Amino acid sequence: MIKIPWIIINIMPLLGLLLAFILIILLLNERRAPSSTIAWLLAIIFLPYISVPLYIIFGGRKMKHMIKKKENLKKIDNSINLSNHKNHEKLSSMYNNLFPVRYNNDVKVLETGEKAFEYLINLIKNAKKNIYITTFILGKDETGEYLINTLIEKIKEGLEVCLLLDALGSMNISKKFLSDYKKAGGKYAFFMPMIHIPFRGRANLRNHRKIVIIDNKTAIVGGMNIAKEFLGNSDYQKRWLDLSLAVEGPIVYDLYHVFYSDWKFASHKDLSYPADDLFSKEENDEIPLHLIPSGPDVVGDTLHDTIITAIFEAKKRIWIVTPYFIPDDMLIKALCIASARNVDVRLIIPLASNHKLADIVRKNYLIQLQDAQIKIYNYKPGMIHAKILIIDETYSIIGSANMDIRSLFLNYEIALFIYSKKILNQLENWISEISKNCNIGVKKSNFIFGFFERILRLLAPLL
């Protein structure tokens, strides 16, 4: 018979209770949404042996000690290639003044993973000076391998190549996978490594931004990661439905500064080519763009507040495409109020996403929206990973953020506001086409499953 030391039997439970009590006090003193506070309290009280370690690892949102480690994004000089467009002055000041509305940009919609991959590889092959890439997921597959091999060829030509990966999203990427890339002279860094003592909440702050910058003149932004599920050659049958943007013009200047901040934090090194050295000031198409970053390196919950403002100001329509839908109370209330104002509110989501628990949790929210006369479109053929928001006939938003609490309050994200009727029409047509392959409506669960879904909704802020 195995004898358990008396200290484990008598002292450890008391220490566990003391730690839980301390965490509850810290939790109550944090500036959190009430729903998030309640979720953590319930978890710590009823599942202490699981929740206490999770809280220590993942910690709170926007912790001060982590904010100090990564400097806030800095306000950019508004004088660079700006036109005097009165109609966008309000839009610029309404959301934030970190970056101004940029004019004279070119925008190309990359409607599929195949088009995005072809465009990306061509950009890399034609690069002359530098290639900067940040992605949440780098696949250890044919897409990831093809990218690395293509980058190695450019490194041999003398280009500066920097690859920034999130430590959680790309946790399967090893030093061995990147050994040839590093040996050739390629630079890489992992954003907030998972193995860190003390943990101090580091695991909860993920870099979910996706940015590719070529020669500081052309960029790709959106929601696509660099893995075969998202983009690649046309022979992969299970590719997700996704969408990205290729942009040229002054907006690349702002994207560079976001990448530079993230790269310097993760690698502790500067880039060889400052944005001012390569930045193109040539006149392009008249497409105003506004970059809205969010995360612990931005004061406040910028993207969340921007979206709430846009929803409240919408007059005709709000079309949302998102892979995951776990909103906070304010977001879902804003959508319901918009519907009551006779705004055409539509939510397009995958019938079944790749995260089953998220699908179960979203059900109660979807029922609430449906009861408010909001149309729910369930995409049947497969997974949708695109993130799109269309407001009236005024502007559209594309970026890295999902419509969930993690993206809107925790992750480092970016969103691009596009004030272009031309691009808006392209996105509208894209949404209309995929809507043809959707079931409309959500079937209510029976009493038992409905009760279970409402219980899980209490824990939604933890997902």
pLDDT at residue number 284: 61
For residue range 347-382, list pLDDT tens digits in order: 999 999 999 988 988 998 999 999 999 999 999 999
> Containing H/E element for 90?
helix 89-95
pLDDT at residue number 300: 84
Q: ω before 53 within 30° of 0 (cis)?
A: no
> Containing H/E element for 130?
strand 130-135
For residue range 163-218, list pLDDT tens digits in order: 999 998 999 999 899 999 999 999 999 998 765 544 444 556 789 999 999 999 99
Name residues of the chain where pLDDT drops below 50: 1-2, 4, 6-9, 62-67, 79-86, 89-90, 92-93, 197-201
pTM for this model (two decimals): 0.84
| Domains of the chain as residue ranges with CATH | 6-60 (no CATH), 96-294 (3.30.870.10), 302-462 (3.30.870.10)
pLDDT at residue number 406: 87
* DSSP per-residue letters across 179-214: HHHHHHT-EEEEES-S--SS-TTGGG--B---EEEE
pLDDT at residue number 410: 85
Distance between CA atoms of 59 and 205, rounded to whole angstroms? 9
CA quadruple 412, 63, 265, 222: dihedral, nearest 10: 0
pLDDT at residue number 56: 54
150-156, long-range: CB < 8 A, 24+ apart:
150/121, 150/124, 150/125, 151/124, 151/181, 151/186, 152/180, 152/181, 152/184, 152/186, 153/125, 154/124, 154/125, 154/127, 155/181, 155/184, 155/185, 155/186, 156/184, 156/185
Backbone angles phi, psi at 450, to 5 degrees: -60, -40
> What mean pLDDT, rounded, does the chain reach?
83
pLDDT at residue number 198: 43
pLDDT at residue number 282: 60
Q: Interior CA angle at 299 toward 92 and 362, to 5°? A: 90
Backbone angles phi, psi at 439, to 5 degrees: -85, 140
Distance between CA atoms of 198 and 53, rounded to whole angstroms? 12
Distance between CA atoms of 198 and 52, rounded to whole angstroms? 14
Distance between CA atoms of 119 and 129, rounded to whole angstroms? 18
pLDDT at residue number 20: 58
